[in-house]
Every structure is written in structure tokens, then in C-alpha cells.
Amino acid sequence: MHEWALAEALISTVTKVLKSERLGKILEIGVGIGELQDIDLEIFKFALMQLRPDYLKDAEFKFKIVKTRLRCRVCGHEWSPRKDELDEGVREAIHFIPEISHAYLRCPRCGSIDFDIIEGRGVWLEYVKGKR
């Protein structure tokens, strides 16, 4: 599943921070999740718990869901699509390849499929709190 690959990548990034910052212990890990990514948060959390190495066993994960914001390149309108606008198959396709959203979403003002994804895409490391 995609969530497992994302969890593995996040743990790898946290490990690099641990080493580069010479931290002895990680206390908290902040994770940003774009709504457009449409990941299954419970599977993602489970994957993180299963994949984390011993030195991350006591770390607490904090998740922040970032709402999707799009901006039309034609008329400049900004909007956030509703999940119920898309059926499950479309949401799954966007989950794996967010750029495919251009094939399914249109500007509600002018109908254009030419828009930028301003926010709400991807999964990223927001912060790492630790001590030396």
C-alpha cells in the first residue's frame, strides 16, 4: 500500500534529522498530510508504528491535515474541492498521482482544468523535537 511507502520515507527522513542534528532522543515528530493525497490515516499510523526503529519507539507522532486549495490559472479563482465531488475510484487515482486531479476537477467559476495546487498535496515532515 502507498501508506507503507510514505511511512518508510518519513522514518528515513526523521533518521537523517536525528543524525544531522546529533539528537540522542526523538520526543515528537510533526507530520503534514495534504488532504488531496487522500491517504488512509489509520493505515499510515499503523505503518509508522510497525516500521519505526527502536530509537523512535518513544516518539509521539502529531498529524496536521492541510486542506486542499486550488487556484485557477485562467480566472484566478481559489477554491477547495469537496471529497464528495469525486467517486472512490477517482480519489484513489489522485491518491497515487495527485497531478491527475486536472483530469477530474474544474474551476467552479469558469470551468477550466488549468489550475495550480496551492496547498494540500503530499506528506511531509513538519518538525522533529528531540534532545541531545
Is residue 2 within 8 Å of 95, Cβ to Cβ?
yes
pLDDT at 18: 92
According to DSSP, residue 73 is labeled T
pLDDT at 87: 79
Average pLDDT over residues 70-98: 86
Annotate 100-120 with DSSP letters as a single string: GGGGT---TTT--S-EEEEE-
pLDDT at 92: 81
Question: What is the C-alpha separation between 53 and 15, in angstroms, rounded?
Answer: 9
pLDDT digits (tens, 9 = 90+) for 12-63: 999 999 999 998 889 999 999 998 888 899 999 999 999 999 999 999 999 9
pLDDT at 98: 77
Full-model pTM: 0.84
pLDDT at 1: 55
Q: Which structural domain, as residue segments, surrounds residue 105? A: 2-131
Question: Shortest CA distance to 54 belongs to which of 5, 10, 11?
Answer: 11
CATH code: domain of residue 123: 3.30.2320.80
Burial of 90 (0-12, 13-18, 19+ CB in 10 A): middle
- Domain tally for the chain? 1
Question: Shortest CA distance to 71 belongs to which of 79, 63, 81?
Answer: 79
List the beta bridge partners of residue 70: 79, 117
Check pLDDT > 70 for residue 113: yes
Average pLDDT over residues 64-88: 90
List the beta bridge partners of residue 23: none
